[in-house]
Chain A
Amino acid sequence: MDTPAGDLTPALLNAALWTDGMLADAGIPVSDVPFVSVGGGIGSFVLVDYLRIAGVPADQIRVLSNIDHPWQTYEYLTRVSQIPRTQRIRSDSSSRPDNIWGFPSYALSEAWRDRSLRHLAQVLTEPIFSDYWTPRAGTVFAGLERESARIGYPSMLVKGAVRLVRRREGGGYFTILTPPAGSPTKRVAYRSTYVHLAVGYPGLRFLPDLQEFREKYRDHEHVVNAYEPHEHVYEFLKTRPGTVVVRGGGIVASRVLQRLMDDRAAFGLQTRIVHLFRTFVTGTHGSGVFMRRRGGHGWAYQGFNYPKSVWGGQLKAQMRKLDGEERAALYKRMGGTNTPKRGHWQRQMAAGRAAGWYEAMQGTVEKVEPAPHGQLASTVDGRVIRSHFVIDCTGLEADISEHRVLADLLEHSGAGRNPLGRLEVERHFEVKGTASGDGALYASGATTLGGYFPGVDTFLGLQVAAQEIADDLARRGWCARIGPVRSTSQWFRWLLGRPV
């Protein structure tokens, strides 16, 4: 056999069901722990927080992750997409991943800290008389850091790359981890009754014409994705007048426009912006008086990335009852790219339109090619637009099979896809078709978009999932269900910063 000792063997890779003996034969060391969460981002953190508050000891939980703290990936993505710590993210005041109760809300905490009623006045009058109040990215990270220490998160974290999860004969699962370089063995197996997957977005995908440009001309400098570092674009524009094509109609496009326009104002730049929408919304739109969303100048307006009632109201209740085509149809009805209507952005864009340096238009790009003087030529419905840069803000996501662990699950463990093509989970977030004896495999976050609960890839959505999973684990008798008394006593401990 050419596989080195302690590594995955062909026999293991081909078997859907693993025995303890197969791992012993392969020389892979096994660690026992009842509950494993794979991912280590905010999705893992929120569930672990719930379980710790429900009374599960830290030594019963392991988080397998390649990042050092739960907010690391989130902070990276927000920073490159133009939300530094001091800026406000698009999230509700009571949507706090560091507090399972959502009380006190971020606005109330900030009001207390600043001894100011301004924040509360905004929350009171939102969204009718003011923009939605949203927290600063830095506030969110600071809260997560505090809660992480309070629940002993670092003691549960195991660094490494998770390669796959397989069902175990006799119940439960094996999760194979590749530890960091320098570890004594090539792989380590975690044998657990329960596994939770919160592996986030499988990856970014470019628009086909931009992908083609990048591959054909090997140019990663002039065509950039908003979710990758692209500070050089803003630096270039500080040195000389330039034109930027911004593509997309969502929150990231808004952020990128704000950066371009803020820089323009702050440094007296001559930047011109051509903004391309594939779907150009000219006003209020929808399928009838009960499904009307506001819009204009290309954008569809919505406070958060889903209509508010998906997190607990009517849309949540409705979706919970739907399957197949009906579910896909409701996702479609409430979906569509959108952005919040914020006063600051509206004023900037209006100024740009009036002065002629900001132009928004509808169009489908046929191709992007290099043009003389280091420029790009985008052909849009027959018209050629010259620019120095193209910033892709469309936020296309890769298929879940691009993620190794998910691909393996689809191939070997009975998992399937939901009507939107992501991982199909039950109402309590157990991955359908993957039960193993008395064990259960759960998933939450972006991986499960398209399930009975919409809004999975949001702070509040992760908490909804965590609550469902924790309650399911309680039904199985593994942990206590948090009732009103424990909930209240634990809330006081949170408030006082005392360990769970």
Chain B
Amino acid sequence: MVPILSGRIQTRLFLLALVGALVTALITPVLPGDPGYRATFAVLAAVAALGVGWEVLYHGLMQFRWEKDWPSLFGLLTVVPEGALLWVLLRLELVPGAGGATFAGFAVHFGVVWLVVWLVANGPMRVPFLRWRFRGGRIG
């Protein structure tokens, strides 16, 4: 899928709400530091909220690419800046409801959600949503 801006945002919110929430629900009990559902879902909500800003930034960066595309690898590697920013915000206690997170718990949760969402976006998403890839990632 080669995204347009609205498609990026819709895809991120949709996949976090569906796949991200499912993964979070499944792995929270086994995360290091025993963060609890309230904290992990607060982190997930922060990924979604901050994500809108990140997508605007990626959209801007994409304009420098001739093909106006966003290679799969970028979708995977952006885990680093996004994870880093979120961890800093967590340490500064700027994420409501997510206090007391350990780095290990955060890293595993964030990393697993990211990987699964990325995998779903790179293939299985096209199975139920036949038009999604031709509409720049828009779902509706």
Contacts and interface: CB of A to CB of B under 8 A. Distances in A.
A189 B123 CA distance: 43
Given A100-B130, A101-B127, A467-B130, A314 B66 contact: no
A313 B3 contact: yes
Given A128-B73, A286-B66, A309 B2 contact: yes
B140 interface: no
Nearest to B70: A313
A286 B65 CA distance: 12
Given A313-B4, A314-B136, A302 B66 contact: yes
A103 B68 contact: no
A312 B135 contact: yes
Contacts of B64: 289-290, 292
Nearest to A471: B131
Interface stretch (A220-228, A343-351, A484-492): A484-492
A313 to B, nearest CB: 3
B128 A314 contact: no
The interface size bin for chain B is 20 to 34
B66 A102 contact: no
B38 to A, nearest CB: 32
A123 B133 contact: no
Nearest to A317: B4
Given A104-B123, A312-B136, A307 B130 contact: no
Contact of A311 (B2, B71, B76): B2
A11 interface: no
Contacts of B129: 484, 487
The interface size bin for chain A is 35 or more
Interface in B46-102: 62-64, 66-69, 71-73, 76
B19 to A, nearest CB: 15
A127 B128 CA distance: 28
A302 B129 CA distance: 29
Contacts of A286: 66
A124 interface: yes
Contact of B128 (A100, A309, A484): A484
B2 A308 contact: yes
A469 to B, nearest CB: 13
B135 to A, nearest CB: 7
B126 A128 contact: no
Contacts of A128: 71, 73
B37 interface: no
Contact of A101 (B2, B130, B137): B130
A488 B72 contact: no
Contacts of B128: 484-485, 487-488
A105 B123 CA distance: 8
B68 A308 contact: yes
Nearest to B133: A312
A496 interface: no
Interface string A142-167: 00000000000000000000000000
B136 A302 contact: no
A100 B2 CA distance: 17
A313 B66 contact: no
Given A103-B123, A103-B127, A312 B66 contact: no
7 contacts: A101-B126, A103-B127, A126-B71, A293-B66, A302-B67, A488-B127, A491-B127
Given A124-B76, A292-B64, A467-B130, 7 more contacts: A100-B130, A303-B67, A315-B68, A316-B134, A464-B134, A484-B129, A491-B127
Identify the 9 closest CB pairs spanning chains A and B, nearest first.
A313-B2, A309-B68, A484-B128, A308-B69, A307-B67, A308-B67, A314-B68, A312-B134, A103-B123
Interface of B: 1-4, 62-64, 66-69, 71-73, 76, 123-124, 126-131, 133-137
